[in-house]
């Protein structure tokens, strides 16, 4: 086997082991007791929709030159 195939097999085995370990961690079927905390209500008020103009052009300063160069 070449090194790339061996690395892929090792990664797959590690992922499979982690999945099996996580799936089998609570074998008794009981869940941890947690208090069901109800989040506080958020007050919201409706508002009317308004239409506003959008700028059609944007003025910016700077350059369009690339920071790096690559010859292909």
The number of helix segments (H) and strand segments (E) in the chain equals 1, 0
Q: Find, among 16, 20, 23, the residue nearest to 8 by Cα.
A: 16
Query: Which pTM was predicted?
Result: 0.34
For 6-51, the pLDDT digits (tens) are 889 999 999 999 888 877 766 566 666 666 778 899 999 999 999 9
Q: Find, among 22, 2, 24, 20, the residue nearest to 12 by Cα.
A: 20
């Amino acid at each position: 086997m070449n090194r790339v195939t061996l690395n892929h097999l090792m990664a797959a085995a590690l992922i499979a082991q982690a999945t099996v370990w996580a799936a089998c961690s609570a074998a008794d079927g009981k869940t941890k007791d947690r208090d069901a905390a109800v989040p506080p209500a958020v007050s919201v008020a409706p508002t009317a929709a308004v239409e506003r103009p959008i700028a059609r052009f944007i003025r910016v300063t700077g350059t369009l030159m690339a920071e790096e160069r690559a010859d292909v």
